[in-house]
Structure 1
Amino acid sequence: MTREAPALGSEDAVVHLARRASWGATPELVAEISAVGRVAWVDAQLNPASVPDAATTDLVASTWPRLRLATWEVHDTYYPSSTGDLGTDVIQAYLARALWSKRQLLEVLVDFWTNHLVVTAPWGDAWDAVHRFHVDVVRAHALGRYADMLVAAAKHPAMLNQLDNGSSTKRSPNENFGRELLELHTVGPGAYPESDVRRSALVLTGLSTDRESGEYYYRHIRHHTGPLSVMDWSDPNASAFGEKVADSYLVHLARHPRTAATIARKLAVRFVSDDPPSALVDRLAQVYLANDTRIAPVVRTLLLSSEFGGSVGQKVKRPLENMVSTARVLGVRPGPATTSWLGDLVWNAKVAGQQPMGWPAPNGFPDVAGAWAGAGTTLAAWNWHMGQGWEATSSTPRVAYPALRGLLPAVVPSTYGALVDALATRLLLAPLPTAKRDAVCAFLDKTPEAAVRSTDAVLGWRLPYVVALVLDSPEFATR
């Protein structure tokens, strides 16, 4: 039974949900949640088809049409030319959805699974299929059964090439996929002996790709036959046509209590805290098992839990999230050169250490504060804040920015303290602490009590700097 989140004050609880269940809270999102209530909003988001999102769908379809290509069509059109790497397209489309989709909880979970079942882009071994992996595996199953997602991933050419299973044979099994399947994708380290890694790899022999088309192809001639056991799973494995044996193994792992704990803890880390309460993790794992690995009931239980409600201020945004949330709160919309602007977003995220889909290891970008505590990471985010302010005031912006003056009330506050409070409330959805508000006023060489005049620079050329300074605050860096 779900424990409802405590009443933080309905407004605070809505803001908290908006920050955690989206790529960045905005006044519009807070108003949307407030209008329908938190429970109804979560339920709608967990059923993405019920949330109209035609503008984003049309944008992705028209801007990145190559994403519709099947892997064999990519081979037929581009192979062996490197221009066929669709990694840039899939990264930009993923960011466009994070920025502008109305299905924000889905996009947060797409990011979560992208960092759980890792396929790198661009310029990787999955150059020809990473776009289809994102659509057919991650997006298709992000809120469905994890067992279905795991089987789909194991039979996808992108994952098979990423972890070298495409070349694995009964005589020379490659242990990469067999190991990561156990250690990262399912039961986690310590749940199995080292000898199980080889047996795991043997189960998966035969799952391969067709060289000419790049598509998934089961090569029975490569499949190891003979009895196999991994942990508490076993099979006679008598036939070379062992695809169903692999399916049985994958589904068994997905349903394993240790896998339930792995997924539950990772979701709790994403949505609650860097070290989530064990009681919450246990409860989420039970929901996962009771619902045959379905993710939506787990997420619903999590977002309506008392632990979630009590976790305000316990998560820090990763660099990419900081940059995307900046654009969201400023009201950035697609414009005449959207792909160029998205390219700059990717480059700045790379400078900060989080190039989308670019984590070099198979365990995905970390989601704990300590991993992002460096000065370089902070400076990169601050530079992005300032750059957005400059572009917003440019005569030729690449994307559409509302006027920065619109971030302030129509009737300008009478004092500098009130003006900074109003700007912070618009950007952070809450005022700054008094000491930080006063520091912003000092940056403007004013006291909080000083009167604001219509000719003051804060309403003109200095406004982008003040906006950036508010966005540089720890309060904005908090998820």
Structure 2
Amino acid sequence: MTRRTVLAGSIATVALTATGLGVSAPAAAEIQTATAAPVREQTLLSGDPIAHLLRRATFGATPESLAEARKLGVAGWLDRQFAPAKIDDAVCDRVLARLPLAGADGATVRAKLPKHSYDAFSQLGRAAIARAAWSNRQLFESAVAFWANHLHVAAPSSGVWDTRADYDVQVIRKHAFGRFADMLKASARHPAMLTYLDQRSSTKAHPNENYARELMELHTVGVRHTEKDVLAAARLLTGMTVGNSGGYVYDASRHATGAVDILGFRHANAAADGEAAAMAFLDHLARQRATAVRIAHKLSVRFVADEPPAALVERLADVYLKNDTAIVPVLRALFTSPEFAASTGRKTRTPFEDLVATVRVLGLKPDATGTKSLDALYNALVDAGNAPFRWSAPNGFPDVAAVWASPTAFLLRCNLHLNLAAGWYPKQLTRPADLLKSLVPVLPATYGALVDALAVRLIGAKLPATHTAAVLSVADKLPTSPLTAKDKSLAGAAPYLIALVLDSPSFALR
């Protein structure tokens, strides 16, 4: 097989790219264009509903999670995941104990760190990776990631060095399976959000419009407001600020009084009930049809397709309103919908999801001690532009394939696959004694059968014959090449074969 022949197939190009044999930028871009908006017919993903559910509702299926889900069935698995407190999470908890500031309140962070230290940010980002990789509460962690992106407070960002970790605990994690109205109000009264969107500096003499605008435009109804609405909302929200102790306070002396009429919300807004008026406004926004549709659409983009079916969005909005903004009924309706079942191959993993799925599918476990592997994984995600919470704008990370499709991003994924498969970086992760044997316990008789077994284990289906041949060309083998335990080249070739299967466009799909 010549290099030109190898370049003819997308997997072949992946093979050459990952091993540094040289692929032109146009060729790499061509692959990315082909995989940026994948459809079911272009992929090797099976129609197995359990595998599909776990690809979407978790950060990557493992043999153990697949076995559990097949035993419980879709409904049973959802029931179990919707009760995360009942799921043992000892392995993840031990890792999180090494990151005490990831869940610390503002007072604790201020007591332990110098002002404006990044250490709490660092621990929070590493905790997000650990939870995605090793928590058994996978659906909860997926929901947490969604809501953290929706009610986004960047980390690191100016002024929230001491409160951002507490925001994660008291706003996002506390309400991720609760009611959106409650989460929205908790966010509005948290010093991290008040600081991030400048609400803490808003006064009756100089109302700041930032939080009022993003509250409507990003968090709730979308772009339906006028400038008059923004000004009125900014006035109504004055008084909600951060006190000298660093926590939330309502300061009536900063509140601008006077009747307001904002997107159908009318209130006298007297001095005596300024905070109550603000909370009533937030409840009003949370229960608007426009908010229900916006949230239903974003959930559908996250879990179904970059361009979700309009009928599904409308039905989920109905569920949201019927259940008084409760989140779990909406998620249950989404994951049991025919549109979800038919969406195989229509979501692409972000760099964060690709990295974590690789860790999970390879069976890589936490460091025996310390957090050096999490440091390395976090830094790799910084390079990929997708480290947890590290998006500076208040709209949160984009969740569509085209944003993450580029030759550079593709090369970064290939390099990470090989580093993790070979154990080169990060070295501190706990690995199976024999990675290849853990993935393929019974050695097949030929190299072609070995790649088939790896593909079934890592992706869920065999690669096309031409792709298998292209992968094996890197090891200078043919699909028919015999394979025995005494083959001296197998140990050296194994990491490359594993990585090249992970480089398949199908593994990039959720």
Query: What TM-score bracket applies, with the shorter chain setting the length?
Result: over 0.9
1:65 aligns with 2:134: no
What is the aligned partner in structure 2 of residue 106 from structure 1? 140
Q: Residue 477 of structure 1: SS of its match in structure 2? A: coil
Match of 1:265 among 297, 306, 319: 297
Alignment of 1:130-279 (within 5 A): 130-189=164-223, 191-211=224-244, 213-279=245-311
Please identify, of 172-181 and 447-456, the stretch whose mean Cα deviation from structure 2 is larger: 447-456
Amino acid in structure 2 at the alignment position of 1:63:
R
Hey, what's the Cα distance between the residues in 2 that align with 1:465 and 1:349? 22
Match of 2:437 among 406, 418, 425: 406
Hey, what's the Cα distance between the residues in 2 that align with 1:25 and 1:207? 43
| TM-score, length basis structure 1 | 0.93
What is the aligned partner in structure 1 of residue 317 from structure 2? 285
Match of 1:126 among 142, 145, 160: 160
What is the aligned partner in structure 1 of residue 353 from structure 2? 321
Report the Cα offset of residue 10 of structure 1: 9.9
Hey, what's the Cα distance between the residues in 1 that align with 2:360 and 2:234? 44
Amino acid in structure 1 at the alignment position of 2:82:
L
Q: Residue 467 of structure 1: SS of its match in structure 2? A: helix
Contact 1:417 1:449 in 2 (8 A): yes
Hey, what's the Cα distance between the residues in 1 that align with 2:175 and 2:165? 15
Hey, what's the Cα distance between the residues in 1 that align with 2:489 and 2:218? 51
C-alpha distance 78-441 of structure 1, shift in aligned 2 (>3 A): closer
Report the Cα offset of residue 447 of structure 1: 2.1
Q: Residue 208 of structure 1: SS of its match in structure 2? A: strand
What is the aligned partner in structure 2 of residue 44 from structure 1? 80
Contact 2:116 2:162 in 1 (8 A): no
Q: Residue 292 of structure 1: SS of its match in structure 2? A: coil
Alignment of 1:301-450 (within 5 A): 301-391=333-423, 397-402=427-432, 403-450=434-481
Contact 1:186 1:262 in 2 (8 A): yes
Match of 1:467 among 489, 498, 501: 498
Amino acid in structure 2 at the alignment position of 1:18:
L
Hey, what's the Cα distance between the residues in 2 that align with 1:377 and 1:140? 34
What is the aligned partner in structure 2 of residue 74 from structure 1? 109
Hey, what's the Cα distance between the residues in 2 that align with 1:233 and 1:85? 42
**How big is each residue's C-alpha offset from its partner over 1:71-97, in whole Å with a ceiling of 9 and x where there is no partner?**
123234435x33364111111111111
Contact 1:170 1:222 in 2 (8 A): yes
Contact 1:338 1:399 in 2 (8 A): no
C-alpha distance 325-220 of structure 1, shift in aligned 2 (>3 A): same
Contact 1:458 1:466 in 2 (8 A): no
Report the Cα offset of residue 293 of structure 1: 0.2
Hey, what's the Cα distance between the residues in 1 that align with 2:495 and 2:227? 56
Contact 2:140 2:177 in 1 (8 A): yes
Hey, what's the Cα distance between the residues in 2 that align with 1:90 and 1:459? 40
Amino acid in structure 1 at the alignment position of 2:283:
V
Whose RCO is larger (CA < 8 A, sep 6+)?
2
What is the aligned partner in structure 2 of residue 32 from structure 1? 68
What is the aligned partner in structure 1 of residue 51 from structure 2? 15
**How big is each residue's C-alpha offset from its partner over 1:28-80, in whole Å with a ceiling of 9 and x where there is no partner?**
211110011111101211121222223322431x211234532123234435x
The gaps in structure 2 that reach 5 residues or longer are 1-44
Report the Cα offset of residue 455 of structure 1: 3.3
Hey, what's the Cα distance between the residues in 2 that align with 1:66 and 1:410? 41
| TM-score, length basis structure 2 | 0.88
Report the Cα offset of residue 425 of structure 1: 1.1
Q: Percent identity?
A: 46
Displacement over 4 Å in runs of 4+: none
Amino acid in structure 1 at the alignment position of 2:76:
A
The gaps in structure 1 that reach 5 residues or longer are 1-8
Q: Residue 249 of structure 1: SS of its match in structure 2? A: helix
Amino acid in structure 1 at the alignment position of 2:49:
A
Hey, what's the Cα distance between the residues in 1 that align with 2:47 and 2:416? 29
Hey, what's the Cα distance between the residues in 2 that align with 1:460 and 1:69? 45
1:453 aligns with 2:489: no
Contact 2:153 2:193 in 1 (8 A): yes
Report the Cα offset of residue 175 of structure 1: 0.5
Contact 2:306 2:347 in 1 (8 A): yes
